[in-house]
Amino acid sequence: MPITSSQLLEFVRDQYGTSGPVPLHAPVLGQEERHCLLDCLDSTYVSSVGPYVDRFEQTLREYTGAAAAVAVVNGTAALQVSLIMSGVRAGDLVLTQPLTFVATINAIRYCGADPVFVDVDRRTLGLSPQALSDYLTEYAELSDDGCILRQTAQVIRACVVVHTFGHPADLAGLVEVCARWRLALVEDAAESLGSLYRGVHTGRYGRVAALSFNGNKIITTGGGGMLLFEDAREGERARHLTTTAKVPHPYEYVHDDVGYNFRLPNLNAALGCAQMLRLQGFVNAKRALASRYAEFFRGSEFEFVLEPEGCRSNYWLNAVICPNRESRDSMLRETHAAQVQTRPAWTLMNRLPMYADCLAAPLDNAEWLAERLLNLPSSAPRVET
């Protein structure tokens, strides 16, 4: 059954009850956010010290079940520290997927390491355990120094998986491959707050995970990120490094390592605390919206992207697979002309000029998806509080 852009526009406008512009993903803010922000301003603790930062970390720790949560200035900083905590050094290689936002790959380069691009799974949109295993079997070997790329003798230190658009990747498969090849698994969970894999929150399977609270995420702190750890001691180490590695002292300035000025300001954390009160309502509303999208596209030539089996997705960004690039581009043009925001997938990272010379396995699935994937308006309508 064909679906026209006019039908899609009518459906989307009906979801949001508007004849005006519809953004791809907008934050939902209200009185509780205003109250917490004004309270923070009145306290004068607006920078990196204050009770809201501690409260925000505690709330995220309790919500996800992680042993430690460390708040930082943005998701990119969280990814960079995740890699540092995983032992990534200059000259190392990090295996990851090309279908992601550029911050995932920039964080690798910030550490002086290089990405190696491995294909994704069409079902999850995340890194494929089979593709990862195949690449390592063909090109890598284990030595006393760890996992080594035979071609260059470089150490392959870590693997970064992205829970694309909030859909959990195949974590069981990735954990097994990484354990077999002695790789640190880092979860880029920037998009997946509220998503579960086999009943456990994403970010709980790797050595460390990174969350994002940018303005377009399921909850926002304006700008902000969070590190999740299964080892509380690792969390304490990360908190120390992200607060300039300053040794506690009543008045002396003593620093015992190369630290980073990455601590989340109290003002941003105040917004996050208020947003966390709404999180379950956001998840419920977005999952309900996804169900309506799925029903709308049922039986058509468009394939709506559903959560993987055994998972609960937050459906951060709803996505549909178009029959071909021509139909996708037609939808993009016509929805934008009507001021309804849709988006293609990100340009594959191996096609960007600064990463075009990086090593890559065959990327058939990523290339197929990049030609056909279309993101749809995904703000939480009719939010429950």
Structure tokens that stand for 384 in this block: 């429950």
C-alpha–C-alpha distance, residues 340 and 376, integer Å: 9
C-alpha–C-alpha distance, residues 307 and 124, integer Å: 7
Q: Is the pLDDT of residue 112 over 70?
A: yes
Q: For the residues 265-278, what does the mean pLDDT come to?
A: 98
Give residue 175's identity as a one-letter amino acid code.
V
Is residue 314 a contact partner of residue 193, using CB atoms and an 8 Å limit? yes
- In this prediction, residue 385 carries a pLDDT of 47
C-alpha–C-alpha distance, residues 265 and 213, integer Å: 13
pLDDT one-digit tens code per residue, 251-263: 999 999 999 999 9
Could you tell me what percent of the chain has a pLDDT over 70? Answer: 99
Q: Is the pLDDT of residue 237 over 50?
A: yes
Give the contacts of 20 (CB within 8 A, at least 6 positions apart).
339
pLDDT one-digit tens code per residue, 4-47: 999 999 999 999 999 999 999 999 999 999 999 999 999 999 99
Give residue 86's identity as a one-letter amino acid code.
S
Q: Is the pLDDT of residue 382 over 60?
A: yes
pLDDT one-digit tens code per residue, 280-313: 999 999 999 999 999 999 999 999 999 999 999 9
- In this prediction, residue 179 carries a pLDDT of 98
- In this prediction, residue 48 carries a pLDDT of 86
C-alpha–C-alpha distance, residues 259 and 48, integer Å: 15
Q: Is the pLDDT of residue 383 over 60?
A: no
Name the band, by pLDDT with cuts 50, 70 and 90, for residue 226: very high
Q: Which CATH class is domain 5-26+279-376?
A: alpha beta
Structure tokens that stand for 216 in this block: 């377009």
Q: Angle at which helices 364-372 and 325-337 pack, to 10 degrees? A: 40
Residues pairing with 197 in the sheet: 200, 311
Is residue 228 a contact partner of residue 211, using CB atoms and an 8 Å limit? yes
Is residue 68 a contact partner of residue 235, using CB atoms and an 8 Å limit? yes
C-alpha–C-alpha distance, residues 349 and 285, integer Å: 32
pLDDT one-digit tens code per residue, 187-221: 999 999 999 999 999 999 999 999 999 999 999 99
**Residue 241: half-sphere exposure toward Cβ, Cα within 13 Å:** 17
31-276 has CATH 3.40.640.10 classification: yes
- In this prediction, residue 2 carries a pLDDT of 82
- DSSP H or E run through 10: helix 5-16
- In this prediction, residue 5 carries a pLDDT of 94
pTM above 0.95, yes or no: yes
Q: What's the Rg (C-alpha) of the chain? A: 21
CA distances to 10, 17, 238, 239 from 262, rounded to whole Å, are 44, 40, 10, 9
- In this prediction, residue 384 carries a pLDDT of 47
Q: How many helices (H) and strands (E) does the chain have?
A: 12, 16
Q: Angle at which helices 51-64 and 266-276 pack, to 10 degrees? A: 40
* Four-residue CA torsion sign, 133, 139, 141, 146: negative
C-alpha–C-alpha distance, residues 250 and 270, integer Å: 26
Q: For the residues 339-357, what does the mean pLDDT come to?
A: 98
Write down the domain spans for the chain: 5-26+279-376, 31-276
C-alpha–C-alpha distance, residues 69 and 203, integer Å: 11
Name the band, by pLDDT with cuts 50, 70 and 90, for residue 49: confident
Structure tokens that stand for 132 in this block: 């990862």
SS3 12: helix
pLDDT one-digit tens code per residue, 138-177: 999 999 999 999 999 999 999 999 999 999 999 999 999 9
Could you tell me what percent of the chain has a pLDDT over 90? Answer: 98
C-alpha–C-alpha distance, residues 174 and 162, integer Å: 11
Q: For the residues 91-99, what does the mean pLDDT come to?
A: 98
